[in-house]
């Protein structure tokens, strides 16, 4: 087991899961992914999350992906594994496996078919997941856009504190900055609240974020380092200007479908992660060509990560 511990700070990638053209896992690609992240100053990896299509994989596949990431990244990146599942038993099995392989943390989103009705119910569910990996920091993954569960994260933390001894914090992927600020300040800053919206990182930094998890740190990490450096020097105008430049890329990424576009962008920086899984669809050659032209006009190839 590595010597990494919480809190998560700096840029943490939410890596894509690489697939072969037949849809099977391409675990060999992880070496190149890790090398690119390390070369571009990324400090960690949040594995099998939304960007990693974790919900589209079997439990066994998720375990294999987590094992490979921990094996390759150990001593180089902090590895937190998303273990969220609609089945509590499967989520617990994934969490126990994460501890067994020596990763640095677990995380789960809210169950999204039968949904918790309040913070107490959500805390009870997460407590069961966290208790399967008691030696690891546990992060609740707040992402209402995907789960439909919009329970304030601060309410969750208050309900979870007496139930989850290994509660470390929240991966906060939401636009409710009042809730984010409350989480950061709760109990004198006890919790590690990791910001999850790349397009408003400047806002997160201004409210006390020390770490950020995001998709775009896979392929445009350098400009986010510039944003953080400018903010830390007190040059808010420059931080805002660099955020706007990053957002021009993010708008293209979103417009072309998110993960399918991101996998094309990874190929553009020399890290081929293959196709996406249904119901997501790959871009047609024509759409790829259009996206490349837009990215070039927005300065992507001047600010992108290097493979």
Q: Give the residue numbers marked as catalytic.
A: 141, 171
Three-class SS of residue 188?
helix
Which of 158, 150, 172, 152 is CA-nearest to residue 46?
A: 172
Alpha carbon distance 219, 124 (integer Å): 37
Contacts 24+ apart (CB under 8 A), 68-74: 68/27, 68/30, 69/15, 69/30, 69/34, 69/45, 69/103, 70/101, 70/102, 70/103, 71/101, 72/30, 72/31, 72/34, 73/30, 73/34, 73/45, 74/2, 74/102
Calpha distance 230→196 (Å, rounded): 19
**In the chain, alpha helices (H):** 29-39, 59-73, 88-100, 119-130, 144-147, 153-160, 177-185, 201-206, 221-232, 236-255, 259-268, 285-297, 300-303
Query: Which of 205-211's residues contact partners 24+ apart within 8 Å by CB, and which partners?
Result: 205/231, 205/239, 206/231, 207/177, 207/180, 207/181, 208/181, 208/184, 209/180, 209/184, 210/7, 210/9, 211/7, 211/8, 211/9, 211/10, 211/11, 211/12, 211/43, 211/44
User: Is position 250 annotated in a ligand binding site?
Assistant: no
User: Has 213 been labeled as part of a binding site?
Assistant: yes
**Residue 305 CA: distances (Å) to CA of 86, 138, 208, 224:** 35, 29, 26, 10
- Annotated binding residues for pyruvate, written as ranges, equal 51, 213
Annotated binding residues: 51, 213
């Amino acid at each position: 087991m590595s010597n990494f511990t919480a809190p998560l700070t700096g840029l943490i990638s939410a890596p894509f899961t690489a697939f072969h053209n037949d849809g099977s896992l391409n675990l060999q690609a992880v070496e190149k992914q890790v090398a690119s992240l390390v070369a571009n100053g990324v400090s960690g990896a949040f594995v099998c999350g939304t960007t990693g299509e974790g919900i589209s994989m079997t439990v066994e596949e998720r375990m294999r992906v987590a094992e490979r990431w921990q094996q390759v990244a150990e001593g180089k990146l902090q590895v937190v594994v998303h273990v969220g599942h609609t089945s509590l038993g499967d989520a617990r099995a994934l969490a126990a496996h994460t501890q067994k392989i020596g990763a640095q943390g677990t995380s789960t989103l809210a169950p999204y078919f039968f949904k918790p009705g309040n913070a107490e119910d959500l805390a009870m569910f997460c407590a069961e997941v966290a208790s399967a990996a008691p030696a690891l920091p546990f992060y609740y993954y707040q992402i209402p856009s995907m789960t439909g569960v919009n329970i304030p994260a601060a309410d969750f933390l208050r309900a979870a504190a007496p139930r989850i001894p290994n509660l470390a914090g929240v991966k906060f992927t939401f636009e409710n900055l009042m809730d984010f600020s409350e989480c950061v300040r709760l109990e004198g800053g006890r919790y590690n609240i990791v910001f999850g919206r790349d397009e408003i990182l400047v806002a997160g930094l201004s409210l006390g974020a020390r770490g950020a998890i995001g998709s775009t740190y896979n392929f445009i990490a350098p400009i986010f380092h510039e944003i953080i450096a400018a903010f830390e020097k007190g040059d808010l105008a420059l931080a805002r200007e660099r955020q706007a430049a990053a957002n021009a890329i993010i708008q293209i990424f979103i417009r072309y479908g998110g993960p399918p576009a991101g996998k094309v962008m990874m190929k553009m920086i020399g890290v081929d992660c293959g196709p996406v899984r249904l119901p997501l669809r790959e871009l047609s050659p024509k759409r790829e060509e259009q996206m490349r032209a837009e990215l070039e006009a927005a300065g992507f190839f001047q600010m992108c990560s290097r493979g």
